[in-house]
Structure 1
Amino acid sequence: MTDGILSSHDITRVILQLVLNEGVEDCTTNWKTVRCPHSHNTRRRRFAILRSTCKLWKDLMDGLTDWLTDYDLYLAATKHKMRSVRYLLSRGKLDPTTYDNYLIGQAVYCNDYQMVKFLLADPRVDPSAWNNLAIRNATMHSGNQMVRLLMADPRVDPSAKDNEAIINAASRGNCDLVMHLLDDPRVDPSARDNKAIVNAASGGHCDLARLLLMYPLVDPSTEDNEAIISASFSGKHEMVRLLLSDPRVDPSAQDQKAIKEASLRGHDKTVQLLLADPRVDPSAQDQAAVKGASSRGHVRTMLLLLADPQLEVLDETFGP
């Protein structure tokens, strides 16, 4: 407007504003609880179309952004629309830390490295929010690059929530990731009653188990030898072999549970390894191992068990 006279530029702006807001309800609710009205989606589409029409309209629409909310930022981030996130944050009033830094946690969960890197460049964003949810999500859902990016920030504590990060990494069998976490002196590989080695054993991740066993605090016999029982259950015979080489491990624990679980599932190689240990007794609990193998029709497993001298008592059972 010049000297009280509306210019064509002013008229165009008014028309665009009317078109943009026609039939749209006000969005005054908290985005975390009630989202925005459905008509707000219509306005988003209109805004994108009008802004892309020509250079003049683009400049005019950039001045009509007071209706944008943190929920728009949330939608852009969760849909991995980097250009939209950049644009929205350039508007000034939107906050990337809304809902206690939910955006960066979600970006990590979705393994969106570029989005996380961009958000971390904003000094308002705190990657340690929600008890270091970002690093905990990264070790479960993302790759090594994401974890390295987060750990480069001094606010991030990889030992948070009783060392959940290394336990997550161990369950995935990610040896490189575990090594990187162990570079931080705050990380304890024996946390939660040695949950990391138990997870590694259950998944048959031998290289990872060897790495963990290098740390004196790690005890593979924890939880009444749950590691070798889990490995036997899963038929991870190489893991069973590795665990048997540790004098702390007792394969007869929990009433010979390892041999019973391996026999029930027909894991022949595991059964063979266990039978080679003098502490293992396949006749325990009224020949439960043999009965388990028989119930599933595991003939080879039965033959291995019946060849063990501790089962000679069966000769009397099937006598004349």
Structure 2
Amino acid sequence: MKSQSALSMRTKQGHMLTTGCPHIDAELNGGLRTGQITEIYGESGSGKTQLGLQLGITCQWSVARGGLNASAAYILAEENFQSVRFLQLAESLSEQQSQQSPISPLATPATQTSATTAATTTTMRSLFEFTDNIHLTHVRDPATLIHIVQYMLPVLMTRHNIKLVVVDSVAATLRYASFAEDNLFDPNQKTTDNNNKSMHYSNSNLIVNLARVLKKIAADFNAVVVCINQVSAKFTSPNTLSLVPIASGSNGLAERAFAIDESAVSSGSSDAYFRTAQVQPALGLLWTCCVNTRICLAKESSLTSEIAGLANGIRYMVTRRRLRVVFSPNGPSSTDGLCLGIHAIKPGHSADRNSLLIVGAYRCRIEPAVDDFQYLSPFLQSATRYRSSLWDFLDSRRIRDGEWRAMPLSYQVALYGSILMAPDWPPVVGWGAKPMASNKMWYDRWRLPTEHASKVFALLRKQPWFDATVEKNRAFRWTARFGYLDIITDLLNDERVDPADDDNYAIQCAAEAGHIEIVLKLLSLPSAVGINPAGKNNYAMKRTAWNGHTEIFRILLNDPRTDPAVAMNEPIRNATINGHTAIVEMLLNDPRRDTIDPSSHNNYAITQAAARGHYKCVRILASDSRVDILDLNIFRNACVNGHAKIVEFLLGLPQFDPTAVPSELFLTAVSNGHVKVVEVMLENPRFTFPFNDLVFDDAVNRGHIEIVRLLLADSRFKPTKRLFILGNNTSILKLLLEDERIDPSADNNAAIQNKYSSNSKPLVEILLHDRRVRQACSLADLQKYQDFCQT
């Protein structure tokens, strides 16, 4: 390295690389300086790799925007390059053209002015151009790492204008220098170099050599060198030696490095505010002396502060990421650090140092004051510009149900206001009978306890950006569906809110959900408001009949504007399908009963009631002369589905003719194992049955022992000898052997021969214990069966 004078170093052009976040740049006094080694250390999941990815994007920005207008090289020793996350960061940062990082302190005011103008007019690169300027290499041992840095990297930087070198991570190879990959399973064998198997580096030599080469790279090419480092445990005794837990991404290498407490020196953070008080950067004090700037990323869990102005203030446990400058020649060290987001490090909306920095940062931001709510909703809305809708964004982040209810109150306020004002999720049009759990804007995902919902709405109504009238008064509609009577009352005091919007959908929602107080509240409004319970083709009446809200249905039925026979008598069909007897009686006794036809759609109401076992509904409908009780579909549905009480009721009607019932219905009841139905049909003297082998064979083969017992007990049934050949049920076989009319030895012991051929040992044993079977067997066959049972 050539010597330089102080004057030449003073006049040498220097640059600062922005991180993409003005707050982080301010912590670093302008960004990361070229010609230096910057170390970023922290525990797993603190955002080290992500910050390294973000630097690879900002490095490609123009100098006017705080970048280096150059490419980047990544030397990876742990995981593979996260290309998907890299593109996501590039997309997010590309939308932040109006939020520029601070200009380097070395720039003149004139340069700053021109830089701002240039940055405003700069055309953003396409996303894939960012990946084209990233050069990757993977290493797994220290010798390869040093060889790449010393020989390959200078050539690569010259050819491709590389101004950023990221080593992720520097400790992944150096901490395991004593163990080459081919000696993993022999810790006592001396580690050799991968090339000639003769050179052996000590840890100290490796660290010093690597630092020397990286510093030369930074100086010769005026580049930013970033070394991502792992952490090791910090012990209370300075002489304590212990095994350090294995670091993530180290491919299963056995950790053998010893760690010594260095709390007395400045290599780690001693700030009790950080979780890093229990950890320290890996590679020890020697490596500390080799880096110029040290940045610490840490995670911490803490309770949020209480919301001002609310009784019984709510506190939540949240996880935050913090960035702290431990030491740097470019500026002072941090005192309290900077709070970061959890998904990316990017510009935020709030002006304070604890600003929201990324989508989903509700997990880590300190609870804001009530007056800060206006920052949150615009943030949530702008965060969805990269997706098809807010609903897709929330679903991708799994923000719903329990996740939604566990959020801090301030974020519930912001998020609830955003979803109440967001456009409909496009696929919801024509949703129909699809599962509601797949509906991304399903209202039930955002349900809150009534008392807590009142707090959310009270705060939300104070926000200037919130408008309860958008999206056809969705706020009023959802509130009616949830049953929040106090909130409904409050919204009705707002003259902008239209409770009759969208063809009176609000009262329909309240009626469907069974909130009678809200229904009465809306019906009591002046007629000028325009509340009409018959809106959307009497939707309220149809849904209350389906859900069985008897009192609400009574209120709607007494309103002359409603039509109980709407949609070809859908209300009575809905009520009978679900067995709501009281509603069926109300409809049949209504003064407008002449317009209500319970037999519409080919006796649909009573046939469906019979299929679902709604006995009381069947009796009520059968008493109406308009219903055709002789419709065999009624009996068929009850018989096939095993509703014996309805079968018995129908057989007891004088006008019902059992002889008209097809014989296959009896066989169906036997096949389905409906014991009570079979018993009712056998006990009816007017019923004629097909007493043949087909019925009995089916019961035996399907193992319906109770039906077999019923058939054997009926004198009209004549069992045949072939029954023993059927089935493999031991209980049924024993039941058959108890009937003296059945001979198990018929047809030259066909039964035991059949079970022996089918390898049914339990059945052979049962038959062999029968005296009639043994007497019909030859000595050879008897010995054969006995040997079979003993094996």
Bin the TM-score by the shorter chain. Answer: 0.7 to 0.9
Pair 155,233 (structure 1): closer, same or farther in 2 beyond 3 Å: same
One-letter amino acid of the structure 1 residue matched with residue 629 of structure 2: P
**Does 2:491 match 1:88?**
yes
Structure 2 length normalisation: TM-score? 0.32
Q: Within 5 Å, which residues of 2 pair with 1:93-108?
A: 93-108=496-511
Q: Which of these residues, 227, 231, 242, is aligned with residue 634 of structure 2?
A: 227
Q: Which of these residues, 282, 285, 291, is aligned with residue 690 of structure 2?
A: 282
Structure 1 length normalisation: TM-score? 0.74
Pair 295,132 (structure 1): closer, same or farther in 2 beyond 3 Å: farther
Pair 128,277 (structure 1): closer, same or farther in 2 beyond 3 Å: farther
The worse-fitting range, judged by mean Cα deviation, of 206-215 and 109-118 is: 206-215
**Does 2:672 match 1:265?**
yes
Q: Displacement of 1:65 after TM fit?
A: 8.6
Residue in structure 2 matched with residue 179 of structure 1 by the alignment: 585
One-letter amino acid of the structure 1 residue matched with residue 414 of structure 2: T
Identity %, equivalent residues: 26
Measured in 1, the distance between the counterparts of 2:417 and 2:598 equals 50
**Does 2:611 match 1:207?**
no
Q: Deviations over 1:266-301 (max 9, x none)?
A: 333321221335443234xx7543333223311221
Residue in structure 2 matched with residue 218 of structure 1 by the alignment: 627
Q: Displacement of 1:165 after TM fit?
A: 1.3
Q: Displacement of 1:201 after TM fit?
A: 2.2
Whether contact under 8 Å (1:282, 1:310) holds in the other structure is: no
**Does 2:701 match 1:295?**
yes
Measured in 1, the distance between the counterparts of 2:536 and 2:390 equals 22
Residue in structure 2 matched with residue 30 of structure 1 by the alignment: none
Q: How many residues align?
A: 287
Q: Displacement of 1:152 after TM fit?
A: 1.6
Q: Displacement of 1:120 after TM fit?
A: 2.2
Q: Deviations over 1:177-210 (max 9, x none)?
A: 2111112212212122112222332333333322
Pair 43,236 (structure 1): closer, same or farther in 2 beyond 3 Å: closer
Residue in structure 2 matched with residue 113 of structure 1 by the alignment: 516
**Does 2:566 match 1:160?**
yes
Q: Displacement of 1:253 after TM fit?
A: 5.9
One-letter amino acid of the structure 2 residue matched with residue 293 of structure 1: A
Q: Displacement of 1:211 after TM fit?
A: 2.0
Q: Deviations over 1:2-51 (max 9, x none)?
A: xxxxxxxxxxxxxxxx8664465499xxxxxx7899999528679x8799
Unaligned runs of 5+ in 1: 1-17, 28-33
Measured in 2, the distance between the counterparts of 1:133 and 1:188 equals 19
Q: Displacement of 1:141 after TM fit?
A: 0.9
Whether contact under 8 Å (2:479, 2:487) holds in the other structure is: yes
Measured in 1, the distance between the counterparts of 2:537 and 2:664 equals 37
Measured in 1, the distance between the counterparts of 2:666 and 2:616 equals 24
Q: Displacement of 1:250 after TM fit?
A: 4.9
Residue in structure 2 matched with residue 42 of structure 1 by the alignment: 414
More helix, by proportion = 1
Pair 98,52 (structure 1): closer, same or farther in 2 beyond 3 Å: closer
Give the root-mean-square deviation of aligned CA atoms: 3.8
Measured in 2, the distance between the counterparts of 1:272 and 1:113 equals 45
Residue in structure 2 matched with residue 67 of structure 1 by the alignment: 467
Q: Displacement of 1:221 after TM fit?
A: 2.8
One-letter amino acid of the structure 1 residue matched with residue 689 of structure 2: D
Measured in 2, the distance between the counterparts of 1:51 and 1:41 equals 7
Measured in 2, the distance between the counterparts of 1:235 and 1:270 equals 6
Bigger radius of gyration among the two: 2
SS, match of residue 495 in structure 2: coil
Measured in 1, the distance between the counterparts of 2:706 and 2:416 equals 66
Measured in 2, the distance between the counterparts of 1:295 and 1:50 equals 63
Unaligned runs of 5+ in 2: 1-370, 382-388, 395-410, 419-453, 724-745, 748-791
Measured in 2, the distance between the counterparts of 1:104 and 1:51 equals 20
